[in-house]
């Protein structure tokens, strides 16, 4: 029996990864959590139902290209088992007309050492998404005697979990930014809710974005569940729709992070990085003015790269500025044509979940300072 699961960060040498699949992806109907996430001027507003077949095929080609590139570099690639999401789903607490996808595994699976945990997502349409990964989890469980297969407490997602009419009134972008800066989000503190893509793992330290998809109670839950780790609550006030940390604050190697210049980490939250000689640099501007059609994410998927080790990094092929910046930062950028998958839930990092990265749980922040982010 071999060790199959191990990963403590996003930059140690990647050996084994899960790459999502676009089959049966549905644009979900509005629900308390998602309607707040779709910008008012987005063409996604009012749209729901299965995504057009042609776009699914193109997204799958992009995902296959990524898988091939990884395999050519010696990384083992696993794929989820697609589920027919175009069916109504219910629990004792709610009913939704469809599920969503198994494309961004990063939102669902959190790898912590020899453990992979399914998250506690706040969208009702994503409640059963973990099932697409269960065949793989079961296989790792059978093959790796040390693998810890776990699941966060399942949220109930009743109406109590959301603020209602939160964005119903027309408010300006400035007012929206004020709300996010004041940590006023659509999710309430009724129960812990979190997306795995809000959790940035840096060895002993977890930097978790407090935003639309992850609440404060989740941070408290992390603190009790991982007592050996330090939990930091971070937020990026420049983002009017803060979901997921991986188009905002992206580590490339120990000591180096690229930060979205429109969503800078506030000064007081930087202390812990500065005290430990971590450099935070502005990410290069995106090459595109608009995201592709029917895409949930912003143009900043430009910085949603997949780091293979402390030198090599996969970047979307059309993101010329990001490719150039990687070289300037001493990285070796590998372009992969991936834009056709963006609309299905994100970029190269979103599209993957770690199974194995070579390396241990390091303490990168041993110099402790007064740190307002500490939970």
Q: Which parts of this chain interact with ligand DAV (CB under 6 A)?
A: 104, 197, 243-244, 246-247, 297-298, 300, 346, 350
The nearest distance, CB 239 to ligand DAV, in angstroms, is: 7
State which residue, 26 or 243, has the beta carbon closest to ligand DAV: 243
Phi, psi of 337 (to 5 degrees): -75, 105
State which residue, 126 or 244, has the beta carbon closest to ligand DAV: 244
309 is an active site residue = no
Please name the helix (run of DSSP H) or strand (run of DSSP E) that holds residue 177, with its range, or none. helix 173-181
State which residue, 140 or 296, has the beta carbon closest to ligand DAV: 296
Tokens for 273, please give them. 């990085």
State which residue, 70 or 197, has the beta carbon closest to ligand DAV: 197
d(CA 155, CA 69): 37
d(CA 3, CA 301): 33
State which residue, 32 or 104, has the beta carbon closest to ligand DAV: 104
State which residue, 4 or 99, has the beta carbon closest to ligand DAV: 99
The nearest distance, CB 197 to ligand DAV, in angstroms, is: 5
d(CA 219, CA 127): 20
Cα-based torsion angle of the residue sequence 180, 181, 182, 188 in order, rounded to the nearest 10 degrees: 30
Residues in Cβ contact with 374 at an 8 Å cutoff, skipping those fewer than 6 apart: 230, 231, 232, 272
The nearest distance, CB 139 to ligand DAV, in angstroms, is: 26
The nearest distance, CB 103 to ligand DAV, in angstroms, is: 10
244 is an active site residue = yes
Phi, psi of 265 (to 5 degrees): -65, 125
Least Cα distance to 235 among 258, 204, 267, 205 occurs for 267
Classify residue 46 as left (phi > 0), alpha (psi -120 to 50) or beta.
Answer: left
d(CA 226, CA 152): 12
360 is an active site residue = no
The nearest distance, CB 146 to ligand DAV, in angstroms, is: 29
State which residue, 55 or 213, has the beta carbon closest to ligand DAV: 213
Which one of the listed residues 78, 244, 295, 309 is annotated catalytic?
Answer: 244
Q: How many angstroms separate the Cα of 117 from the Cα of each of 112, 279, 324?
A: 8, 30, 35
Strand ranges in the chain using DSSP code E only, listed in sequence order: 14-19, 26-27, 49-50, 76-78, 89-90, 95-96, 109-112, 115-118, 148-151, 199-202, 205-209, 230-234, 249-253, 256-259, 279-282, 306-307, 312-316, 332-336, 352-357
State which residue, 144 or 316, has the beta carbon closest to ligand DAV: 316
The nearest distance, CB 243 to ligand DAV, in angstroms, is: 6
d(CA 25, CA 13): 31
The strand pairing partners of 77, in sequence order, are 17
The nearest distance, CB 144 to ligand DAV, in angstroms, is: 27
Tokens for 23, please give them. 């089959």
The nearest distance, CB 101 to ligand DAV, in angstroms, is: 12
Which one of the listed residues 195, 198, 205, 246 is annotated catalytic?
Answer: 195
Which one of the listed residues 125, 295, 305, 350 is annotated catalytic?
Answer: 350
Residues in Cβ contact with 195 at an 8 Å cutoff, skipping those fewer than 6 apart: 107, 108, 119, 121, 122, 213, 214, 243, 244
Active-site amino acid positions: 195, 244, 350
């Amino acid at each position: 029996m071999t060790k199959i699961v191990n990963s403590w960060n996003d930059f140690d040498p990647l050996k084994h990864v899960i790459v999502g699949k676009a089959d049966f992806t549905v644009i979900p109907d509005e629900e308390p959590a998602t309607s707040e996430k779709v910008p008012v001027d987005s063409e996604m507003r009012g749209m729901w139902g299965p995504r057009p077949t042609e776009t699914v095929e193109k997204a799958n080609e992009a995902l296959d290209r990524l898988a091939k590139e990884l395999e050519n570099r010696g990384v083992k690639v696993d794929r989820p088992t697609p589920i027919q999401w175009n069916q109504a789903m219910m629990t004792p607490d709610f009913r939704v007309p469809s599920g969503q996808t198994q494309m961004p595994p990063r939102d669902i699976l959190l790898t912590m050492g020899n453990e992979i945990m399914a998250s506690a997502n706040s969208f009702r349409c994503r409640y059963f998404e973990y099932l697409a990964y269960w065949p793989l989890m079961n296989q790792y469980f059978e093959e790796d005697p040390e693998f810890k297969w776990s699941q966060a407490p399942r949220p109930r997602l009743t109406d109590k979990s959301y603020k209602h009419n939160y964005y119903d009134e027309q408010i300006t972008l400035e007012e929206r930014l004020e709300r996010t800066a004041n940590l006023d989000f659509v999710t309430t503190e009724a129960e812990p809710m979190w997306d795995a893509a809000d959790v940035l793992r840096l060895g002993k330290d977890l930097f978790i974005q407090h935003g639309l998809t992850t609440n404060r109670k989740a941070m408290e839950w992390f603190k009790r569940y991982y007592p050996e780790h330090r939990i930091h609550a971070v937020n990026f006030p420049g983002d009017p729709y803060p979901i997921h940390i991986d188009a905002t604050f992206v580590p490339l190697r120990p000591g180096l992070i690229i930060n979205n210049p429109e969503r800078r980490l506030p000064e007081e939250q930087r202390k812990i990085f500065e005290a430990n000689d971590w450099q935070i640099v502005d990410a290069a501007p995106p090459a595109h003015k608009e995201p592709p059609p029917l895409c949930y994410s912003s143009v900043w998927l430009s910085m949603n790269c997949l780091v293979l080790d402390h030198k090599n990094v996969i970047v979307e092929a059309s993101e010329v500025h990001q490719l150039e910046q990687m070289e300037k930062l001493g990285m070796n950028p590998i372009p992969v044509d991936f834009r056709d998958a963006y609309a299905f839930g994100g970029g190269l990092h979103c599209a993957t979940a770690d199974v194995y990265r070579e390396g241990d749980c390091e303490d990168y922040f041993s110099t402790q300072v007064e740190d307002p982010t500490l939970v």
